[in-house]
């Protein structure tokens, strides 16, 4: 999965940002920072399955619902994770992604 979801020059603005909001409200800005964030997550987790729903298109961007079966490598604990990625578009490029998580 890592290659498919990495920022690329065709779709992403050079100074886009990625926001994780699950109680942390952290932001990474720029391709290198977001790639490092993604690599760190994949180092800590194994993905056993993914389903994707959408996109849901709006006036300023789109949203995609993800459901993943994830295993934490350090503990072996598996969980089903649901999140919605909200992507903002400007001048034909993604300028911001924000991940929102189920509270259940």
Query: Binning pLDDT at 50, 70 and 90, where does residue 12 land?
Result: confident
Mean pLDDT (the chain) is: 87
Kindly report whether the global pTM for this prediction surpasses the value 0.85. no
> Greater confidence, 4 or 81?
81
φ/ψ of residue 76, rounded to 5:
80, 0
d(CA 11, CA 89): 10
CB 19 within 8 A of CB 27: yes
- Provide mean pLDDT across the span 47-54: 95
pLDDT (tens digit per residue) in 91-101: 999 999 999 88
């Amino acid at each position: 999965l890592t290659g498919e979801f990495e920022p690329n020059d065709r779709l992403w603005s050079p100074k886009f940002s990625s926001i994780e909001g699950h109680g942390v409200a952290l932001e990474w800005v720029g391709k290198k920072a977001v790639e490092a964030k993604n690599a760190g997550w994949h180092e800590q987790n194994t993905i056993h399955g993914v389903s994707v729903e959408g996109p849901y298109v709006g006036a300023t961007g789109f949203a995609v619902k993800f459901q993943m079966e994830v295993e934490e490598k350090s503990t072996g604990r598996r969980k089903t994770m649901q999140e919605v990625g909200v992507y903002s578009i400007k001048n034909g490029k993604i300028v911001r992604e924000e991940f929102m998580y189920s509270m259940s």
